[in-house]
């Protein structure tokens, strides 16, 4: 149970600092909300049609693995992924990381997203949105794969110290512009337990759209498959390009 809670905390921190989003709500529950055509939040008309079109660009769950389960993820979930989801009293050693984690509500004209859990071993977050310029999903905002927060520590109120470090992730020459990042987190609890988690993320620009994919292992101290992730990023880009034109 401790490992599960730690993994979910890494997810919040990682998605906040790397521009992806997922709402973590009380008691370690991964909350997913939908903003799809026909839902209570839907605007109707042409906007709903556009959202439906972008939803068609999301990979089917089976592309992630035979036991994958996908759920819709709304743009509002990204707003909810901010430091307020971290325990009160959390301290960043590097002010740049604290600044990078401040909420920057996305305001896409069109958006579709999903979270995909693969057998409780990995979590993927995929989004397709437009426009991309000026958003955390714009690869130019993290030149060299890093961005303004490159490394540092986060101290939690219970005394757990989390060391984080970003590095560039080569995702190949995809679309009009592409980039990837790797975030390695190492946590040491007050009683000496150590948890190592890696998060991978990538953004590929396709005209006015950007398709983004993030992956986090839900099992600490496990290696990640960068080759497999890069292949999945290429698949996600090609799929949305064919589906959306």
- The DSSP annotation for the chain comes to -HHHHHHHHHHHHHHHHHS---EEETTTEEE-----TTSTT---HHHHHHHHHHHTTSPPGGGT-TTEEEEE--HHHHHH-SGGGSPTT-EESSHHHHHHTS------SEEEEEEEEETTTEEEEEEEEE--TTSTT-GGGGGGGT-S--EEEEE-TTS-EEEEEEEE----S-SSEEEEEEEEEEEE-TTS-EEEEEEEEEEEEETTEEEEEEEEESSTT----HHHHHHHHHHHHHHHHHHH-
Give pTM, 2 decimals: 0.76
Between CA 13 and CA 154 the distance in angstroms is: 10
Predicted confidence at residue 145, as pLDDT, reads 53
- Local confidence pLDDT in tens for the 245 residues of the chain: 333 333 344 444 554 444 433 332 222 223 222 233 333 333 344 445 555 578 999 999 999 999 999 988 877 765 544 443 566 777 878 776 665 555 454 567 889 999 898 887 888 989 999 988 877 788 887 766 556 667 788 888 888 888 888 888 999 999 999 999 888 888 888 999 888 888 899 999 999 999 999 998 888 888 889 999 999 999 999 999 999 98
Is the domain spanning 2-244 CATH 3.40.50? The answer is: no
Domain limits of the chain?
2-244
136 upstream amide cis, omega within 30 of 0: no
């Amino acid at each position: 149970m401790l490992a599960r809670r730690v993994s979910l905390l890494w997810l919040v921190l990682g998605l906040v600092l790397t521009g992806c989003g997922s709402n973590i709500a009380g008691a370690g529950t991964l909350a997913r909300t939908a903003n799809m055509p026909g839902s209570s939040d839907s605007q109707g008309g042409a906007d709903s049609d556009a959202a439906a079109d972008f939803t068609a660009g999301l990979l089917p769950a089976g592309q992630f693995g035979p036991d994958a389960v996908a759920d819709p993820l709304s743009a509002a979930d990204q707003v909810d992924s901010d430091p307020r989801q971290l325990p009160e009293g959390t301290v960043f050693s590097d002010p740049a990381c604290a600044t990078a984690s401040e909420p920057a509500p996305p305001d896409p004209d069109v958006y579709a997203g999903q979270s995909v859990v693969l057998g409780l071993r990995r979590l993927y977050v995929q989004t397709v949105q437009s426009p991309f310029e000026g958003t955390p999903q714009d690869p130019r905002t993290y030149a060299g794969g890093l961005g303004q927060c490159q490394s540092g520590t986060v101290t939690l109120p219970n005394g757990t110290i989390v060391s984080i470090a970003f590095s560039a992730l080569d995702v190949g020459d995809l679309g009009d512009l592409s980039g990837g990042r790797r975030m390695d987190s190492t946590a040491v609890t007050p009683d000496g337990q150590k948890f190592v988690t890696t998060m991978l993320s990538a953004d590929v620009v396709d005209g006015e759209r950007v398709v983004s994919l993030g992956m986090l292992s839900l099992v600490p101290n496990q290696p990640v498959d960068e080759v497999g992730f890069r292949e999945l990023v290429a698949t996600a880009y090609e799929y949305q390009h064919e589906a959306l034109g």
